[in-house]
Amino acid sequence: MTRRTMALLSCATACALSAGACDTLPEDEVAETDEPAYATNGLAAINGLSSTNGLSSTNGLSSTNGLSSTNGLSSSNGLMTTSAGRDTVAYIVRCALPATAMLVKKDQNGVSYTFKGALGLAPEWQHGSCDKDCQEIVSACLMAHVNTAGVHIPLWIVAKTPSVGWSLNPDYPNQEGSFFGNIFTKGGHGSDPSKVPAFYCNGSAYNVDVVPGRIGANQQGAPYINPYMVGPYATGTAGYCRDVCSRADSPYQSNGYKSCNGWNNVITVYRQASN
């Protein structure tokens, strides 16, 4: 089984995932693991995300330092100091780092927490900076994990990033939607310069076999909007990705989208059919 076929995601309430106390590794040590890239829960919200400030160094995460650096995730303030914040860290690491890596960070009390990688969308961030592409793909991944109703929902994702790819899984036939933006900063590509760009568009089956807390289910409190229905790119349409985004290259043009209004790091999500 390849790493790609094990990239199965599931979304629910924010729990302290892979964040149990651990004293076996020194802070910032990256360990090797052969565990598959599964996520067993999700985010009810992205802790630390502000519609005006974004997920930035002021919230304990620096986009200019490596995740494993002492400055990358502060132990004295920000995300590492609360349970909800550590949930966000868990998903940042799951999105950014591969399944072969896990990161240990300390909170303000000196307690160590272990965060496991999974999808490997931005492995360069482990020791280096997170540039615009890194920020955008991690942003899309975090948004794809949100379930505002706190319900466990298994999902399948595709993207142009090689660690994920465009291959579909027949057990996940319903294209829910695509996520894009940059929750680390404000503005970009014609969006409101005073707000964090956090967007989605409707997949071809967004209203088929809908599930609580996800697109098509009258989400409440989601951190993203469909900008084609209301917002900076409003077209007066139903907000389908197929009408506004650039499809993946052949032979995967029906599987997902590689860009939407200048956002070139898009993640497309598929849901299971109802039993």
The 3-state secondary structure of 72-108, one letter per residue: CECCCCCHHHCHHHHHHHHHHHHHHCECCEEEEEECC
Percent of the chain with pLDDT over 90: 45
- Distance from CA of residue 250 to its chain's centroid? 25
Calculate mean pLDDT across residues 173-177. Answer: 96
**Interatomic CA distance for residues 212 and 147, integer angstroms:** 8
What pLDDT does 250 receive? 96
Alpha carbon distances (Å) from 35 to 31, 100, 118, 184, 232? 12, 8, 9, 29, 41
* Of 181, 185, 179, residue with least CA distance to 52: 185
What pLDDT does 83 receive? 85
| Residue 5 in this model has a pLDDT that exceeds 80 | no
> Tens digit of pLDDT for each residue in 13-53?
222 222 222 222 333 333 333 332 223 335 666 766 665 55
Q: For the packed helices 132-144 and 83-96, what is the interaxial angle rounded to 10 degrees?
A: 120
